[in-house]
Structure 1
């Protein structure tokens, strides 16, 4: 299914001045969800005002996939249904190692930006102080930043429940990348300024939670991008 309309995967209107198109870089982001209270809350943090991309806006923890992410040791693999949906995101065949590296990047960034380690402690010669556990990640969305932005990313968004991951919602700490880390009600985001695409993906999350609060692993995944200047929503 494809729908078109106004919007932006980069947080600004689509009628921005066109510049040399940059190739999007693969990235990953985590919607960490706390359902221990009456409402479901999601973790967001504010990007520093000096950042070139999305300055002074609240976003989910995340960042680009690094060259060495495929080398990260891990302690629990992705659900098969999540892996299959990730494969559907690529027109050409992508190796499982590359797809797994996207999910590993999501958990690495969560640790770097919010001091949250999802997985078991590492005592060997590894690139992280923990062994990431990909078991409970849900693949929720994909979005490509439109041409014309100073940075472009092909971002894969995952959801993760704190209780399934063994995460204490109180154990979050600001970093150089994200300030003002906070939990916000997914049904009331009025207290923070969000990029357009973040608001859109949160709306999808709300609809998914209302349909099935467990967020089944094999659910269809919305894919947002621009085609001939139009904002498009496909399903993977």
Structure 2
């Protein structure tokens, strides 16, 4: 166990209806893609639509909920052994890979960027069809787990989110598809500038975590959970 500091998170999103049982968190994954081709590193971020009930107009990393199709999606490279082992320590077999695939799929759907390797065209259906039609398959080897956070029970929409990180050099291209779906605006933002944006609390913490991890890759990976509306229960993966 390390003594790396963690800041408490505060609940965000629509509150749970009084008397309603706590909502079961939905499995999700998001990826911080780091670009290092300038004087200072930049991270890919997007602004959520103002009409969303969950974190409207906030700047976030691309990502989203796991889909059943993510369990059977094709890929060019598999997870690194240490990454796979970390997922397997907490999840049912195959779910970690599906979460990683979900993060890559959502990056394509929301930001128009392929974290992938070029591959021959092949048949595909469902949400993976537009991705595979680009002549590319997911590059799971590019991903590293940096943290996990579970939304507190007091919130009406809850997520059990795995935060991943990848280098922008693993993108098939820096040229993105113009139609970026859910995210209203996409930008490569320096870490210091990102902190001035309207961010969810957990996103702000993950930016700090990414900065620290770039300096010390061996630092422990936070696992943030909650007992109630006021108290966090920080631990490490």
TM-score by length of 1: 0.85
Structure 1 113/28 Cα, relative in aligned 2: closer, same or farther at 3 Å?
Answer: same
Task: State the aligned residue count.
Answer: 225
Structure 2 distance, partners of 1:144, 1:131, is 29
How many Å separate the matches in 2 of 1:210 and 1:115? 29
The residue that corresponds to 1:146 in the other structure is: 152
User: Which residue, out of 188, 203, 206, partners 2:208?
Assistant: 203
Establish whether residue 108 from structure 1 lines up as the match of residue 109 from structure 2: no
Instruction: Spell out the pairing of 1:1-236 with structure 2 (5 A cutoff).
Output: 1=1, 6-8=8-10, 11=12, 19-90=20-91, 94-95=92-93, 97-119=94-116, 120-126=118-124, 127=128, 128-129=131-132, 130-168=136-174, 170-171=175-176, 173=178, 175-211=180-216, 215=217, 220-229=220-229, 230-236=231-237
Distance 1:190 1:156, change over 3 A: closer
Structure 2's unaligned 5+ residue stretches are none
Moved more, 220-229 or 195-204: 220-229
The 1:172/1:191 distance shift into structure 2, 3 A limit, reads farther
Instruction: Give me the whole-angstrom Cα distance separating, in 2, the residues matched to 1:220 and 1:121.
Output: 35
Cα shift at 1:5: 6.0
Secondary structure of 1:27 counterpart: strand
Note the C-alpha offset of 1:163: 1.2
Question: Hey, what's the Cα distance between the residues in 2 that align with 1:122 and 1:151?
Answer: 39
Deviation at residue 124 of structure 1 after TM alignment: 1.0
CA-CA distance at 1:11 after TM superposition = 3.5
Give the deviation of 1:88 after TM superposition: 2.8
User: Following the alignment from structure 2 to structure 1, what is the Cα–Cα distance between the partners of residues 210 and 14?
Assistant: 22
- Confirm or deny: 8 A CA contact 1:5 1:232 kept in the other structure: no
Rounded to whole Å, the distance in 2 between the matches of 1:112 and 1:60 is 12
TM-score (norm 2): 0.85
**1:42-76 deviations in whole A, cap 9, x for unaligned?**
01111111111111100000000001110101110
Is the 1:26–1:65 Cα contact (8 Å) retained in structure 2?
yes
Structure number having the greater helix percentage: 2
Distance 2:183 2:227 in 1: 31
Q: Unaligned 5+ residue runs, structure 1? A: none
C-alpha distance in 2 between matches for 1:143 and 1:110 = 19
